[in-house]
Amino acid sequence: MPTLSALLPMAPAFNAGLALSLSLIMALGAQNTHVIRMGLQGQHVVLTVVVCIASDILLIALGVLAMAQLGGLGAGLKTALICGGVVFLLVYGGQAFARFRAATPAGPDSSAEHAWAPMSRRQATLAALAFAWLNPHAWLDTAVLIGTASLAWGIPGNAAFGAGAAAGSALWFCALSLGVFWLGQRLKSPAIWRALDGMVALRMWGTALGLLWGLLAP
C-alpha cells in the first residue's frame, strides 16, 4: 500500500486533474442539463448521477491510457495534442463568455412549462448512458481533452492526473444533484445560468493558460 510520502509528489498532478475536470464539466451542456431536469422532476436522481460518474470515470481512464500510448510516439505529437487542448479550452470558454455577455444562458427555458412523463429505472439508466456515451462533447472533454492534458505529467503522474479528474466528476455531479434539490425551481432563473456561464469561461481560460505555461516553462 502506498505511503503518504510516496503519494505527496503526485498531489500537483491530482490537483491539476481535479481543476481541469471541474472547469470542463461545469459547462452547461446536454449531460448537466439532463441531470438538472431529472432533479427538477424528482425522478431517479441518484441513479442518474451514479451512471454519469461511472461513465466519466471509464472515459477518463480510456483517455489517459490511450494518450499515454500516443505520447510515446514523440515530443512533437505530445506538443500538438496539448496545443489542441489549449485551443479547445479557449474556444469553449469564449462561447460561454459570449452567452454571458449576451445574457442568453444555455439552461432550461424558464419561460416554458415543461411536462415530462414519468420514467422507469430502465428508461432513466438508458437516458443517462446515452447522454454520457453518445454525446460528442462528453468524449471530447473526458477521453480526448483530459487524456491529452495528462501527457504533460508523464508516467506515473498521468495516473494521478486521471484520478483527480475522476474525483472532479464525482464531486460535480454530487454537488449538482444536491444543488438542484435545495434550490428547486429557482434554478430556472436566467440570472443563475448566466452567472455559471461567466464562471465557466474564467475557469476554462485559466486552465488553458496553465497548460500553456506548463508547455512553455523550462
What are the sequence ranges of the domains in the chain? 11-107+127-216
Q: Is 35 or 216 the better-scoring residue by pLDDT? A: 35
- Whole-model pTM: value is 0.68
- The per-residue pLDDT for 9 is 65
pLDDT above 70 (res 202): yes
Which ranges in 28-74 belong to alpha helices (H)? 30-41, 45-71
Q: Which distant-in-sequence residues (6+ apart) come within 8 Å of 23 by Cβ?
A: 89, 200, 203, 204, 206, 207
Q: Which of 31-35, 51-55, 80-84, 125-129 has the lowest mean pLDDT?
A: 80-84
pLDDT digits (tens, 9 = 90+) for 110-154: 444 444 567 788 988 998 898 888 766 677 777 778 888 888 777
Cell numbers found for residue 48: 442518474
What's the mean per-residue pLDDT of the chain? 77
Sign of CA dihedral 214, 150, 15, 168: positive
